[in-house]
Structure 1
Amino acid sequence: MQVTGVRRGWGWPVLAALTLSTIGDEISLVTLMLRTAAHDPPFAVPMLLVAELLPGLLAAPFAGRLVDTRDAVRLLVVASLAEAAVIAWMATHADLSSTIIGAAALGVSFAVSGAASFALIPVLSTALGMPLARANALLEFVRGAGMLAGPVAGGVLVAWGGTTGALLIDAASFALLATVLLASGLRRPVAAADAPAAQGALLADYLPLLRESRITVMIGALTLEVYATAIADVAFVFLVTVAMGAGATVFGALTACWAGGMLAGAAWGGTLAMRRPAPLAFAAATVMGATMLAIGAGWTWGVGLVGGAFAIGGAANSLHNVAVRTMLQRESPAAMHGRVAAMYGAATSSAAMMGYVTGGLFVPAGAVEAYWLGGALGIAAGVGGWWLFTRSRR
């Protein structure tokens, strides 16, 4: 793997552009959901979410191989320009069929850009003279800020200029990212000896990674943790409105507690050297499971104590994400980072979809039981995953 550095002074603008595009992701999701909910049948919103998720899941293995055979920076530029064009087109085509087609196209493009971004994190950390764990923590902080600021910004933009204006602003954020990447001079060319075969069965390209038991155990434990969290995500609104008998104010406050915890966890993760990220990843997974159990058992404690549990869970979530990415990037060769990202993304997307379906079986009356199940599975992912990981070899 050959890597060329970023031009002097351009490392931080690249990170800033990635930040804007992350917030843009949230703006586009909120805007499209608001537009779809207002003008289309009730089943249209689930269709929109599936259209954004499923094509990307199917494209993930091909995207991973593509990133490992081409310069990830150029792929991210092309994907960002494609995303800008698709979102701009969706801004002026508000009918349901165009929205679904555009969402599916974005899902495929996001699969490529996500794998490319994962592969570029080690390159950027080297160019900035920053430890890998700190770079991952910074991007996790950015993601948390995007999750917090994006929906607010999306709502404000829709109220101010309508859905068309909000989507065009989002399209501009992706065009800006492509422009900054081109100007930065950042490159990640792939040596011919490192690249997987451009033709042939996908399984053959992924077999070397599947034989790495430490990587497969980590991704397997991550999959179970995401599944557990997704069950609770579905039950969250019913925990507030049915079990706790509260309203929108409490719902917003608890959401803010989780998001604030994520920001704090990411900030703390940036101060850790993470010479051994795996123990931290499994410990954080265990804490996430424990907080879900605590919420399920103590939903009568009052908003203050439940909010504290949400904040702890959010902080553990961020630390878990940072440690998992750092571990996967260190354990796998740079020439396989695209495929690792594809496995990572496909596993989390699949687990989220299955968790949403499972969580739907509990609501509205069984939200507390859903938290108990999610908590038990989360602890199993942390404790059981660590037990398997310590018995795995490189």
Structure 2
Amino acid sequence: MTLTVSTIGDEISLITLMFRAAENETRFAVPMLLIAQLLPGLIAAPFIGRFVDRRDAGRILVVTGLAQAALLAWIAGNTAMLPTLVGASVLSICFAISGTATFALIPVLATALGMPLSRANSVLELVRGVGMLAGPVAGGILIAWIGARSALLIDAASYVLLATVILASGLRRPIAPDEQEPRTLLAEYWPILRNRRITVMTGSLALEVFASAIADVAFVFLITVTLKQGPLAFGLVTACWAAGMILGALAAGARPMRRPAPLAFVAATMIGVTMLVIGSAALVGAATIMLIGMVFVFGGVANSVHNVAVRTMLQNETPTDHHGKVAAIYGAVTSSAVIIGYVTGGLFTPSNAVGAYLIAGTLGTAAGLAGWGLFSRFAR
């Protein structure tokens, strides 16, 4: 419950910062904010993975939560663009640390609760889906009702609550003392990088996320330019994807995933197919808001199943003392693909959103099919 509140708070803060950037007179304020929210965490990812594997991830999550609360309170009191960008950059690193620590704690939590690992991951995905569905609505209401500063302070309070609950729960991830000589980053990551199954899975993930990011950029123009609809239609269709993610998280946790890898590649293929269907329908003039909404529900289900299956496979494939590093690879691959996808998607907008969806769908489908072919070969 506490994690759900914190996740909703994250969505509130993201929307608040986006509105603040959009109201700024600087032309590139919004792109600079998006980069600030991704790039620092991406650069720090290899060091964060090593750090989490050498420390108690539970304590790291507590300290990081308090740091995020302090940062959000500071950003709330400094409305200028420069402090906002600096705060967003530091938050990016904090998000990377907390995400890596959470990834490493999920197997510990699953063992403590006596549940399958895939079910624990599905609970995390369910929380994320609820946050995506409720957060934007709550953010819009709070900004209009009490202002951006108070909305950010509410998110800060949610982090204090999260840190308090984790500290009180006694959730810990004991780490055995490392008696080996200090090693380089490459030497520490090499056992993971040389695992071909992990390499194929993360490569497929990168292509899938890259394709989805292209479609994400084109989505607003698909609704407003191609279909000539307004903000209400945009919000409703976005909610359809989040609702699908909630359904997918519930489905993914219904049974233990004995073979998560095949599910990951099937789900990746389905995400690609949803983008192809939308692009094809828009190309022939058959796309409607209702059709896209129904396809988005299907895509959201596939998105959740894909996320749960990928995380479960990576956690199963690596020893416990490497979970921080594999989480760092997972986060870095995802962030890199998003950044490149956003830039690529911008080449198609605003007038060719249909082309963006067709290319994204083709790449997404290929990510699932080609990934499974390579994975099967190395599995044998």
Q: What TM-score do the two structures reach when normalised by structure 1? A: 0.93
Q: In 2, distance between residues paired with 1:177 and 1:248?
A: 33
What are the within-5 Å matches in structure 2 for residues 86-105 of structure 1?
86-105=71-90
Return the offset for 1:308. 1.4
2:228 aligns to what?
A: 245
Q: In 1, distance between residues paired with 2:187 and 2:67?
A: 29
Structure 1 SS opposite 2:173: coil
Contact 1:69 1:196 in 2 (8 A): no
1:303 aligns to what?
A: 289
Identical aligned residues as a percent:
63
Q: In 2, distance between residues paired with 1:80 and 1:245?
A: 42
Return the offset for 1:380. 0.6
1:269 aligns to what?
A: 252
2:314 aligns to what?
A: 328
Structure 1, unmatched stretches of 5+, are 1-15
2:145 aligns to what?
A: 160
Which residue identity is paired with 1:74?
A: R
Structure 2 SS opposite 1:191: coil
Contact 1:196 1:205 in 2 (8 A): no
2:269 aligns to what?
A: 286
Structure 2 SS opposite 1:130: coil
Any idea what the Cα deviations from partners look like across 1:338-391, whole Å, max 9, x if unmatched?
Answer: 000000000000000000111111111111011110011011100000001011
Aligned residue pair count: 377
Structure 2 SS opposite 1:20: helix
Q: In 2, distance between residues paired with 1:249 and 1:181?
A: 38
Return the offset for 1:190. 0.8
1:125 aligns to what?
A: 110
Q: In 2, distance between residues paired with 1:185 and 1:312?
A: 38
1:42 aligns with 2:54: no
Q: In 1, distance between residues paired with 2:25 and 2:83?
A: 12
What are the within-5 Å matches in structure 2 for residues 51-66 of structure 1?
51-66=36-51
Q: Name whichever of 221-230 and 144-153 sits farther off.
A: 144-153
2:346 aligns to what?
A: 360
Alpha carbons of 1:196 and 1:248: their partners in 2 closer, same or farther (altered >3 Å)? Answer: farther
Contact 1:134 1:269 in 2 (8 A): yes
Structure 2, unmatched stretches of 5+, are none
2:367 aligns to what?
A: 381
Any idea what the Cα deviations from partners look like across 1:237-268, whole Å, max 9, x if unmatched?
Answer: 11112222222222122112111111111111
Q: In 1, distance between residues paired with 2:275 and 2:23?
A: 33
Which residue identity is paired with 1:271?
A: A
1:12 aligns to what?
A: none
Contact 1:65 1:196 in 2 (8 A): no
1:113 aligns with 2:72: no
Alpha carbons of 1:33 and 1:331: their partners in 2 closer, same or farther (altered >3 Å)? Answer: same
Which residue identity is paired with 2:312?
A: T
Structure 1 SS opposite 2:43: helix
Q: Name whichever of 151-160 and 73-82 sits farther off.
A: 151-160
2:241 aligns to what?
A: 258
Return the offset for 1:40. 4.0
Q: In 1, distance between residues paired with 2:244 and 2:63?
A: 34
1:9 aligns to what?
A: none
Which residue identity is paired with 2:233?
A: V
2:335 aligns to what?
A: 349
Q: In 1, distance between residues paired with 2:372 and 2:260?
A: 12
1:215 aligns to what?
A: 198
Any idea what the Cα deviations from partners look like across 1:32-58, whole Å, max 9, x if unmatched?
Answer: 111222244231121111111100000
1:225 aligns to what?
A: 208
Which residue identity is paired with 1:169?
A: I
Pick from 67, 70, 76: which aligns with 2:55?
70
Return the offset for 1:145. 0.8
Q: Name whichever of 300-309 and 358-367 sits farther off.
A: 300-309
Any idea what the Cα deviations from partners look like across 1:47-89, whole Å, max 9, x if unmatched?
Answer: 1111111000001111100000000011111111110111111
Structure 2 SS opposite 1:245: coil
Which residue identity is paired with 1:33?
A: M
Return the offset for 1:393. 4.3
Structure 2 SS opposite 1:392: helix
Return the offset for 1:303. 2.2
Q: In 2, distance between residues paired with 1:290 and 1:163?
A: 38
Contact 1:278 1:323 in 2 (8 A): yes
Q: In 1, distance between residues paired with 2:180 and 2:378?
A: 25
Q: In 2, distance between residues paired with 1:17 and 1:120?
A: 16
Return the offset for 1:30. 0.7
Contact 1:281 1:320 in 2 (8 A): yes
Contact 1:67 1:115 in 2 (8 A): yes
Q: In 2, distance between residues paired with 1:150 and 1:303?
A: 22
